Amino acid sequence: MSDRVVAVIIKRKPDLFEGLRTTLGLAVENFVVAMFVLDIDIDIDEHSDEFKENLEWLDELECEYYSNNKANIQHGFKYLDMTRIVKKLEKIDIIIPFN
């Protein structure tokens, strides 16, 4: 397992799937990784079953995924306000922004 902690930040709906795949790929390569979805209201119905399956894989790999949008709690995201997100990001070694 890598000692480095990675965060993937997603701020646009068109980047959701690629950001999720990036997070999953890092986790499979044994990085400690967390995904942060900011301001987006995720509509899982718009996405394929593959998107849902990838979220399930994140759970199995014990990855954290957060959002500052309370509507995303229904999809398994942990809600954090921006102040708490910033505190988490301060502890991250590598940040990958999708914007």
Q: Give residue-wise pLDDT tens across range 11-56.
A: 999 999 999 999 999 999 999 999 999 999 988 765 577 888 889 9
pTM of the model: 0.91
What is the per-residue pLDDT for 50? Answer: 80
Count of structural domains, the chain: 1
Please report, for the domain that includes residue 19, its CATH number: 3.40.1260.10
The domain of 25 spans 5-98
Q: What is the DSSP string of 36-77?
A: EE-S----GGGS-HHHHHHHHHHHHTT-EEEES-GGGGGGTP
